[in-house]
């Protein structure tokens, strides 16, 4: 049996052991843009079984314009979890930057998106000051989330069954410290859930690169490509 199939079978067993112990209704996210997912994540940080700070993590005001654009260039392309797809997002911006008139629209939108981000970032800055590791009492289990088709799932398990369901000894140890009446409520999460919080600061870099790529493409097109095609984008 290959290593991949062994990992797969272990994940299957782990999910099968947990699936009958799922707690509460799955919470689906209405808008899977960076702000929508971020707000979902901080709500879980504030849940009693996950809390690591006396303070409350604050959500970010939703912005339809930001969400509509970033959902396509960040979330749907999976740029939040895969570096290769992030490069592809940059590539799309560069190609759009070569298209007459559309490129002006693209760079204006990226500038507006960057401005919106800078305006909402203060909430994330305040949240980071509350705790260094808000994931402390959560369990990273992407394969379980994949099978559940969710970013995070809650489970309610009798303390005596923690070892049997396949948790590591270190995980069992800290979960036992949080038991109530012989049971433990805990949450598992995947890469997208984690990235929504840990990569939110990186979005500033992402926006700046997109603006610079769009600008570079516009300059390249107007100085080297359009003249040969007889195109005068700025009608000068």
Tell whether 236 is covered by a domain. Answer: no
Q: Domain range spanning residue 174?
A: 3-24+32-229
Q: Is 230 left (phi over 0), alpha (psi -120 to 50) or beta?
A: left
Strands 152-158 and 183-189 turn out to be: antiparallel
Tell whether 235 is covered by a domain. Answer: no
What strands, in cross-sheet order, belong to the sheet with 152-158? 139-140, 183-189, 152-158
Tell me the pTM: 0.87
- Chain-wide mean pLDDT for the chain? 88
- Specify the pLDDT at position 97: 96
Find tokens 């939110």 and name the residue. Answer: 200
Q: What is the pLDDT of residues 9-44, one digit of tens each?
A: 666 666 666 666 666 556 667 788 999 999 999 999
- Specify the pLDDT at position 144: 87
- Specify the pLDDT at position 16: 67
| Beta bridge partner(s), residue 154 | 187
Between CA 59 and CA 44 the distance in angstroms is 11
Which stretches of the chain score pLDDT less than 50? 1, 236
Tell whether 168 is covered by a domain. Answer: yes
Tell whether 102 is covered by a domain. Answer: yes
- Specify the pLDDT at position 1: 47
109-113 contacts, C-beta under 8 A, 24 or more apart: 109/69, 110/207, 110/210, 110/211, 110/214, 111/211, 112/65, 113/65, 113/66, 113/69, 113/70, 113/207, 113/210
Tell whether 176 is covered by a domain. Answer: yes
- Specify the pLDDT at position 235: 55
Could you give the number of structural domains in the chain? 1
């Amino acid at each position: 049996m290959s290593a991949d199939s062994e990992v797969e079978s272990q994940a299957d067993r782990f999910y099968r052991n947990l699936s009958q112990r799922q707690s509460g209704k799955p919470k689906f996210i209405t808008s899977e843009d960076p702000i929508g997912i971020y707000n979902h994540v901080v709500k879980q940080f504030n849940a009693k079984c996950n809390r690591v700070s006396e303070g409350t993590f604050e959500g970010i005001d939703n912005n339809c314009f930001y969400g509509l654009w970033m959902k396509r260039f960040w979330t749907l392309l999976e740029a939040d979890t895969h570096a290769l797809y992030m490069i592809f997002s940059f590539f799309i911006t560069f190609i759009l930057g070569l298209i007459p008139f559309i490129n002006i629209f693209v760079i204006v939108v990226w500038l507006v998106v960057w401005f919106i981000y800078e305006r909402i970032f203060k909430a994330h800055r305040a949240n980071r000051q509350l705790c260094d590791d808000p994931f402390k009492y959560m369990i990273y289990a992407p394969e379980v989330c994949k099978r559940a088709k969710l970013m995070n799932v809650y489970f309610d398990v009798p303390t005596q069954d923690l070892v049997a369901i396949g948790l590591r000894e270190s995980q069992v140890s800290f979960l036992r410290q949080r038991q109530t009446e012989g049971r433990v409520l805990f949450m598992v999460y995947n890469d997208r859930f984690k990235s929504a919080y840990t990569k939110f600061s990186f979005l500033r870099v992402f926006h700046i690169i997109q603006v610079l790529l769009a600008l570079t493409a516009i300059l390249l097109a107007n100085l080297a490509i359009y003249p040969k095609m007889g195109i005068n984008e700025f009608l000068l």
